A = this chain, B = another copy of it.
Amino acid sequence: MLKLRPMAIDTHREAVAYLNRACAQYRAEEFLALEKIEIVHDGKRLTAILNIVDDPNLLATDELGLSHEAARAFGLPEGSPVRIEHPSRPDSLEAVRRKIQGSILPTEDYAAIIHDIVGRRYSKMEIAAFLVACAGFMTPEEVLGLTKAMAETGHRLHWHRNGTEEIIVDKHCIGGIPGNRTSMIVVPIAVAHGLTIPKTSSRAITSPAGTADTMEVLARVDIGVDEMHDIVDRIGGCLIWGGRANLSPADDILITVERPLGIDTRGQMVASILSKKLTAGSTHLVIDMPIGPSAKLRDHADAVELRKLFEFVGHALGLRLDFIFSDGSQPVGNGIGPVLEARDVLKVLRNDADAPADLRERALLVAGHLLDFDPALPGGKGLARARDLLDSGAAMRAMERIIEAQGPASETLSPGGLAHEVIAPCDGHVRSIDNLRLARIARMAGAPAFKGAGVDLFKKAGDPVRRGEPLFRIHAALESDLRFAADLAERDCGFVCGQH
């Protein structure tokens, strides 16, 4: 038997075990060839990648080290006696191999694969193999099978605020447009109207801000399921980070492979979004699908194809869906980064004269579609009702109730104190703005790690510009971040300016 020893190494969601090469009980090299080992204690099992340690100061020859991730997954105290075995290859890898060879897999195979992935029996390499094989070709039925499998591994939320037949609304944007922070306006409008909207959002992983990051500028968002229920029961809605609700543990793992690989396939997107909405207890969902040259959807035909896939899967799961094909040609609002975006959101909710009109109109459009789900509202009146609730200040008051319920932020944050302005190279008009480039500049400036970091846009597409006039300002908290971001903007600022 080996003694368990947690190692202070964070291997970023890959369970790693460490064995001394001079271990007397096991031939380390033999296990190394297979890459993975199975750790066993009293019927409890964990599969982990094997690393070999050659220094007894790091790990004794009778110890088995575990990375943070592995220790957390195994959950046994230091010193526990464990043995290791050749890993039993998960049976579901056979289905992955069939998928690699071009097979169409039945729902049971997706259930088995996702079950094993959530059980941490797949290495990242194996997850990559599964995802890429799926990226090659998936039928709509397969996407449905994957969605169901992902939803089944999640913790399902149930809402009984006004009765069992209740409508639980939600909205989702497929992403890719910086500053498109409509949730923080749509949720207050829906709450003001009286709908139930228990909104969970993600933090940014590769973008400069997620809704959870931006909402956190105003209120606490790291809220567990019990407290969430309490808030939604009282207020009708919330704007929290979904990370503690465990809605889709499968998605949390898959994303750690998709992001670095840049895999963003339609099937995976639909399965990820709809599985989470299903476990979150949503019944009615508006999906915002921005279309533009630097958006995820490049043209209308792309959007229609994706919409059909959403419809097929969503309807099979009993979800009511509505879609908005929106303008994804440039960032929405002026700010990119948590503090700057929160500022824009508050300007819209307060009906400030200088509130960004595009963010206001986009939010009203989404809110209008959401309100149209309410059977009590005459058909087609959703948009007008949403506008009334915003203009009258009812939405702002709803937002204040949400902030109060979640707990207001302890301090008021300002845009990063270090700034650099990027200026127009010539007279003319702004012809286009590249979403991906602006997101990257804001990210380099330190967003979302520094909430005040990001980009503040002074010009949008179509605006006239004069040479030397500022196009946008970069905000940062650190000199090095400001320099990185400014250098990036120097090479290509994402704006194309010129004569018509």
Binding site for B on A (CB under 8 A): 7-12, 16, 18, 21, 27, 29-30, 32-36, 50-55, 58, 67-68, 93, 97, 100-102, 123-129, 131-133, 135-137, 205-206, 256-257, 260-263, 449
Q: Distance in Å from the Cβ of A383 to the closest Cβ of chain B?
A: 37
Q: Among B50, B100, B102, B263, which residue has its beta carbon within 8 angstroms of that of A12?
A: B50
Residue numbers in B under 8 Å from A125 (CB-CB): 124-125, 127-128, 257, 260-261
Residue numbers in B under 8 Å from A260 (CB-CB): 34-36, 123, 125-126
Q: Among B12, B50, B93, which residue has its beta carbon within 8 angstroms of that of A51?
A: B12
Contact A53 B8 (CB under 8 A): yes
Q: Among B32, B128, B256, B262, which residue has its beta carbon within 8 angstroms of that of A10?
A: B32
Contact A52 B10 (CB under 8 A): yes
Contact A33 B102 (CB under 8 A): no
Q: Distance in Å from the Cβ of A69 to the closest Cβ of chain B?
A: 10
Bound complex: CA of A133 vs CA of B99, how far in Å? 11
Bound complex: CA of A58 vs CA of B65, how far in Å? 13
Interchain residue pairs with CB less than 8 A apart (12): A9-B54, A9-B58, A12-B50, A27-B449, A51-B67, A100-B263, A125-B125, A125-B128, A125-B257, A128-B132, A132-B132, A133-B136
Bound complex: CA of A262 vs CA of B99, how far in Å? 13
Q: Distance in Å from the Cβ of A95 to the closest Cβ of chain B?
A: 12
Bound complex: CA of A55 vs CA of B5, how far in Å? 14
Contact A35 B12 (CB under 8 A): yes
Bound complex: CA of A97 vs CA of B136, how far in Å? 11
Q: Which residue of B lies closest to A65 (CB)?
A: B9
Bound complex: CA of A136 vs CA of B36, how far in Å? 26
Bound complex: CA of A32 vs CA of B33, how far in Å? 27
Q: Which 3 A-B pairs have the closest CB atoms?
A: A8-B55, A10-B52, A8-B54
Contact A102 B9 (CB under 8 A): no
Residue numbers in B under 8 Å from A137 (CB-CB): 136
Contact A9 B52 (CB under 8 A): yes
Please name 18 further chain A to chain B contacts, defined as beta carbons within 8 Å, in addition to the given A9-B53, A100-B135, A128-B132, sorted by A numbering: A7-B55, A8-B53, A9-B18, A9-B54, A10-B32, A10-B53, A10-B54, A11-B51, A12-B52, A35-B260, A100-B132, A100-B136, A102-B136, A124-B125, A126-B128, A126-B260, A132-B133, A132-B136
Contact A262 B93 (CB under 8 A): yes
Bound complex: CA of A126 vs CA of B260, how far in Å? 8
Bound complex: CA of A54 vs CA of B7, how far in Å? 9
Bound complex: CA of A136 vs CA of B101, how far in Å? 6
Q: Which residue of B lies closest to A87 (CB)?
A: B260
Bound complex: CA of A68 vs CA of B18, how far in Å? 14
Q: Which residue of B lies closest to A27 (CB)?
A: B449
Bound complex: CA of A135 vs CA of B137, how far in Å? 13
Q: Which residue of B lies closest to A20 (CB)?
A: B8
Q: Distance in Å from the Cβ of A416 to the closest Cβ of chain B?
A: 15
Q: Distance in Å from the Cβ of A483 to the closest Cβ of chain B?
A: 13
Q: Distance in Å from the Cβ of A358 to the closest Cβ of chain B?
A: 29
Residue numbers in B under 8 Å from A449 (CB-CB): 27, 29-30
Residue numbers in B under 8 Å from A8 (CB-CB): 53-55, 58
Q: Distance in Å from the Cβ of A437 to the closest Cβ of chain B?
A: 15
Q: Which residue of B lies closest to A262 (CB)?
A: B97
Residue numbers in B under 8 Å from A262 (CB-CB): 93, 97
Residue numbers in B under 8 Å from A261 (CB-CB): 93, 125-126, 129
Contact A205 B10 (CB under 8 A): no
Residue numbers in B under 8 Å from A51 (CB-CB): 9-12, 16, 67
Bound complex: CA of A16 vs CA of B53, how far in Å? 13
Q: Distance in Å from the Cβ of A413 to the closest Cβ of chain B?
A: 18
Bound complex: CA of A67 vs CA of B257, how far in Å? 22
Contact B128 A33 (CB under 8 A): no
Bound complex: CA of A67 vs CA of B30, how far in Å? 19
Bound complex: CA of A67 vs CA of B125, how far in Å? 19
Q: Distance in Å from the Cβ of A199 to the closest Cβ of chain B?
A: 24
Q: Which residue of B lies closest to A35 (CB)?
A: B260
Residue numbers in B under 8 Å from A12 (CB-CB): 32, 35, 50-52
Q: Which residue of B lies closest to A449 (CB)?
A: B30
Q: Which residue of B lies closest to A204 (CB)?
A: B33
Q: Among B10, B11, B132, which residue has its beta carbon within 8 angstroms of that of A21?
A: B10
Residue numbers in B under 8 Å from A127 (CB-CB): 125
Residue numbers in B under 8 Å from A136 (CB-CB): 100, 102, 132-133, 136-137
Bound complex: CA of A53 vs CA of B51, how far in Å? 15
